[in-house]
Amino acid sequence: MPRVVITILFVLGMSLLHAQNRDCWMFLASSVLPQEVQVVDGKMEGYSVWFHALAISDIQNPAVYETFQIDSMQCYSTDVFPCQLSRDTTDTTTGMVTESSFDTTGIISDAVDADSVWNIPNSGDWEISSSVEVKYEQLEMMQGYDWINEGFSGEGVTIAVLDAGFEGFLNDSAFQHIIETGSILNTYDFVKKDNDVFHSSSHGTQVMSCLAGMQKEDSTEVQYLGLAPCARYLLVRAEQSYSGRLVKEINFINALEWAVQQGADIITSSLIFGEQLYTRQQMNGQSLISQAAEKAYQQNVLVLNSAGNSDQNHWEILGAPGDAEHVLTIGACEWNGLKSSFSSVGPTSDWRAKPDLIARGLVFVTSNNHLSTESGTSFSCPLVAGFAACVMQLHPDWSAEKVRSELLQSATLYPYRDYAHGYGIPQAGYFLFPSDLPPADSATFHLEMMSDQVVEVVVHIAEEAVPQALDEALGEEADSGEGQDESDLLYVQLLDSLGRIVEYWAIVPEGKSGGLYDISGVPGGALKVYYKKYIQQMDFR
């Protein structure tokens, strides 16, 4: 009994001490910050907003100018997304530049608009004098705005969209450019056996907005929601429902065949045939619909399918036809490149690596003339399909096989892949500015054998690394990965003697520590590590 009391008191004491230390770090971090920042220009509410280098001046001391380089920031209408601001302070009298950063947790409110005020403790009043740039993260993460700026919009490419219905599509202003230009080549409902697909479910409409949606702002400014607004479309209703029980594979197979016959260059589907119809063992690419998708690919059609949203239930793995070998299976990721918690994982039951690529899983979609946020691999898939349409527009002579191969190589993690992220997020710069690709980076880490069974990943600290004290100030958000983009994440995997990934990690290294890894479970295997474009593999043979 006394031991129980001592234990409770001790744990309580340690918790209090830990909490006090956290407050200390917050105080140290905030002591270098201005007290109040006022947004003079900017419209953010309801949109995903990326700030770029806000110039801020101190009202009380105009001689000092500050530039906030904001690594990444989102702002939705209902949520607060804290971020880390890094600040370069230039004293114009001395020319001296100092650098610091802070976390916006609890500082920046969600309803930010012109004249919004952010209260930051311990300093004077500050005024923002620059404007903000509104960009949709779902496109920005794929460098999609490079496609748009270079004039690529999927023109000349035919995309077949297989879904459960396109209710509200015809009346949505986001698609009027498609309807008015006659870009809907054909439609067919394989459930009811007629040509009307604009009913039953708005899921297809939301998917279409990630392909071709265009949101007009202030009657002049156009915001792209997808990358293929100028493509031609075949809209197919291939199932009764996009979730729950998918009942008839034959509808999906017929839809695939019809799309090929209609001349589709790309077939994208956000229907997943998984636990309702199959066992995990059947996710080996041999199901009827997976074979049909593979046949379509052999007809020189690029086939994309969402991985599924089953990672938080017992099913976990992707569904058919995402298990087919040449179908591009698309998972979902968070803004920092980390796999979304719901996104289904691989491998297939015969240990082929899946998914292939990932894209943003929390997106802005339009449905019934309303812009809203939705999440799911259903929307990651059309984002990549639109991306692929731009690739086909740029290289109309490329085969589906070539496009598929190049898409994989353009991804952020390539040639590293795991069963959660695939090769990562496709990047437009790979296609548009191949000469600008950065040279192979030097080693960002090295591996050390600590013993016969333990390997340590030792990260090489860059000079411009953020001070550790400020990392501590990130608190809980840092624990969940907020404040880290994909270039900050360190990916580790253990491979068995057959080259299969038996265990994998995505971590945020702290200091030099990239973690200790027990290799005793993979005799004859290997440890592969990816960090900031550098890959190293240690074989245990």
Partner 1 sequence: MSGSVKYLFLLFLSSSALFSSSQKVLLHRKSSSVLQRNETAQSMSNAGRWFYTRTSLLGSVVPTPISGDIGMSYAGCFFFGNDHRFTRSISRHLSWGWGLGFQLLTYGIRQQKNNALSNQVLYNRQSLNTYALPVDIFIRQHFTQKSNTLGWYLDLGWKGCWNFYQLLVSQEELDPKVNQGVGRRYIYNSRLDYVSRWAQFGVFRMGRGHVAVGVMHRFTHFFRTSNSIYAGKLLPDLPRWIGTIEFTFWNRNKSAKKDEDEL
Contact positions toward partner 1, by CB under 8 A?
2-3, 6-7, 10-11, 14, 18, 164, 200-201, 203, 240-241, 243-247, 275-276, 279-281, 313-317, 338-339, 345-347, 349, 351, 419-420, 478-481, 489-490, 500-511, 513-515
Q: Element (H or E) spanning 118, and its range? A: strand 117-119
Token pair in block for residue 56: 């801020």
For the CB of residue 317, give the shortest distance to partner 1 in the complex, in Å.
6
Which residue number, 143 or 493, has a Cβ lying nearer to partner 1? 493
Long-range residue pairs from 399-404, CB within 8 A, at least 24 positions apart, any chain: 399/300, 400/265, 400/297, 400/300, 400/301, 400/302, 401/297, 401/300, 401/326, 403/302, 404/302, 404/326, 404/328
Closest CB to partner 1 among residues 66, 486: 486
Q: How far apart are CA 426 and CA 429, in angstroms?
A: 9
Nearer to partner 1, 261 or 281 (CB): 281
Name the minimum Å distance from CB 341 to partner 1.
9
Smallest separation (angstroms) from partner 1 to the CB of 522 = 11
Residue given tokens 């096989």 in the structure block: 401
422: DSSP letter: B
Amino acid identity at 11? V
Q: What are phi and psi of 420, to 5 degrees?
A: -110, -40
Pick 403 or 478: Cβ nearer partner 1: 478
Instruction: Specify the residue, 7 or 122, whose C-beta has the smaller distance to partner 1.
Output: 7
Least distance (Å) between residue 3 CB and partner 1? 6
Least distance (Å) between residue 387 CB and partner 1: 24
Element (H, E) at 297: helix 288-298
CB of residue 173 vs partner 1: minimum separation in angstroms? 24
Q: How far apart are CA 81 and CA 104, in angstroms?
A: 9
**What span, in angstroms and rounded, lies between the C-alpha atoms of 1 and 4?**
5
Measured CA to CA, the distance from residue 331 to residue 375 in angstroms comes to 11
CB–CB of 496/524 below 8 Å?
A: yes
Give how far the C-alpha of residue 176 lies from the chain's centroid of Cα atoms, to the nearest Å: 28
* Cβ at position 7, least distance to partner 1 in Å: 7
| Number of alpha carbons in the 13 Å side-chain half-sphere of residue 80 | 12
- In the complex, least distance from residue 124 CB atom to partner 1, rounded to whole angstroms: 34
Distances (CA, A) of 40 to 94, 118, 311: 27, 11, 43
Contacts of 524 (CB under 8 A, 6+ apart): 496, 497, 540, 541
Q: Least distance (Å) from partner 1 to the CB of residue 187?
A: 19
**What token pair was written down for 160?**
């077949």
Q: Of 321 and 347, which has the nearer Cβ to partner 1?
A: 347
Comparing CB distances to partner 1, the nearer of 76 and 505 is 505
**Token pair listed for 339:** 């796999």
Q: Decide if 154 contacts 266 (C-beta within 8 A).
A: no
Residue closer to partner 1, measured from CB, 158 or 306: 306
Residue 121 or 244: the one with the smaller Cβ distance to partner 1 is 244
Q: Enumerate residues 6+ apart whose C-beta is below 8 A from 194.
A: 188
The nearer residue to partner 1, 125 or 316, going by C-beta atoms, is 316
The two structure tokens encoding residue 261: 């016959």
Q: From the CB of 116, what's the least distance to partner 1, in Å?
A: 31
Largest CA distance in the chain: 80
Q: How far is the CB of 432 from partner 1 (least distance, A)?
A: 31
HEC sequence for 190-255: CCCCECCCCCCCCHHHHHHHHHHCEEEECCCEEEECCCCCCCEEEEEECCCCCCCCCCCHHHHHHH
Distance in Å, CB of 373 to partner 1, minimum: 17
